[in-house]
Amino acid sequence: MTFILLLLLKGLILILPLLLAVAFFTLLERKILAAVQARRGPNVVGFLGLLQPLVDGVKLILKESVFPTEANKALFFLAPVSTLLISLMAWLVIPFSDSVVFADINVGVFYLFACSSLGVYGIIMSGWSSNSRYALLGALRSAAQMVSYEVSIGLIMLNILLVVGSLNLSEIVLFQEYVWFIVPFFPLFLMFFISIVAETNRAPFDLPEAEGELVAGYNVEYSGVGFAFFFIGEYSSIMLMSGFTCILFLGGWLPHIVIFGYDCGILFFTFKLLLLLFLFVGLRAILPRYRYDSLMQLGWKVFLPLSLAMVIFTSCFVFVFM
């Protein structure tokens, strides 16, 4: 019983700051977009608009959840819940420093990849159960997009795993003590970053939510708590993939520095995470939306052959020199 309570406590310690981080990431995004577009952004609720995310959260919770008449109500309810749970579960294996990780398992990379792959089921369920043409088309687009770019992400990760020889995320970070993988694998870093932008359905690859054609995509029929769950799940996934990029290419919590007895690893990890989040928001601010056929061609005709060629090259290098 004590063990279960301890696990629940550790889970709360992980999830509550994560939910707060998601809330304030939305504020950061709105502030950055406002600055780029020469307007004020949220600045009324609280000092400099800092309470805006909390007010938005309360508003969504208090709103009525509407179930479409022809919807499959069980799946309609389960879709946002599963999306949120899967996005939160993936954070269990992320090492914030050498001593701060919920579960330091030996197959952390596989676990993360599995959670990322399972996310598509919630989107498919939402599109089908809504019994709406717009929602179904958005879900099909999203599923095709996520599956396409997961192939490239897997092959790019394979290059790192071949060099490190381990699936443990902490060991991948420690292997970069002298040089971060972004230096020898810079082209792979660019491909990986573009792939995770497409994987998370973010601009300029936000085709599943194309307002001009699909109104809002797979979550068009959702309101209240259901929409909030999708929203939190999406932004949690963005932060998760940014953290995963930090671990694979930017040395995670490294350099390992202790100041006044305090391990600064979490601060370095957070700083790198914020830099990648700025890139995510910057892309939304400055780039127009891709055409859907161009997006699929980029994944299958450019990234897939290049990442596969890099796997062959890395395998030969490791076999000869390591």
Strands (E) located in 157-279: 258-259, 262-263
Tell me: do 124 and 40 sit in the same domain.
no
The domain boundary residue, chosen from 7, 28, 62: 62
Tell me, yes or no, whether 88 lies in a domain: yes
Tell me: do 164 and 217 sit in the same domain.
yes
Tell me, yes or no, whether 9 lies in a domain: no
pLDDT value of position 309: 93
Tell me, yes or no, whether 129 lies in a domain: yes
The low-confidence residues of the chain, meaning pLDDT below 70, are 1, 3-4, 7, 208-216, 258-262
- Taking the C-alpha atoms of residue 199 and residue 205, their distance in angstroms, rounded to an integer, is 9
pLDDT (tens digit, 9 = 90+) per residue, 229-271? 888 888 999 999 999 999 999 988 888 776 666 677 788 899 9
Q: Is residue 86 within 8 Å of 115, Cβ to Cβ?
A: yes
Task: Kindly tell me the sign of the dihedral angle through the C-alpha atoms of 127, 132, 138, 144.
Answer: positive
pLDDT value of position 155: 92
pLDDT value of position 58: 87
Tell me: do 56 and 68 sit in the same domain.
no
pLDDT value of position 142: 82
Tell me: do 42 and 130 sit in the same domain.
no
Cis omega (within 30 of 0) for bond into 255: yes
Tell me, yes or no, whether 240 lies in a domain: yes
pLDDT value of position 97: 83
Tell me: do 207 and 91 sit in the same domain.
yes
Tell me: do 55 and 176 sit in the same domain.
no
pLDDT value of position 243: 92
Tell me: do 144 and 246 sit in the same domain.
yes
CB atoms within 10 A of CB 305: 12
Tell me, yes or no, whether 12 lies in a domain: no
Tell me, yes or no, whether 226 lies in a domain: yes
- Count up the domains in the chain and report the number: 2
Tell me: do 240 and 316 sit in the same domain.
yes
pLDDT value of position 136: 83
Tell me, yes or no, whether 2 lies in a domain: no
Tell me: do 44 and 99 sit in the same domain.
no
Tell me: do 307 and 177 sit in the same domain.
yes
pTM of the full structure: 0.91
Contacts of 28 (CB under 8 A, 6+ apart): 277, 281
The domain of 238 spans 63-321
Q: What is the DSSP letter of 48?
A: G
Tell me, yes or no, whether 125 lies in a domain: yes
The domain boundary residue, chosen from 44, 62, 80: 62
Tell me: do 208 and 297 sit in the same domain.
yes
The domain boundary residue, chosen from 62, 96, 117: 62
Tell me: do 196 and 136 sit in the same domain.
yes
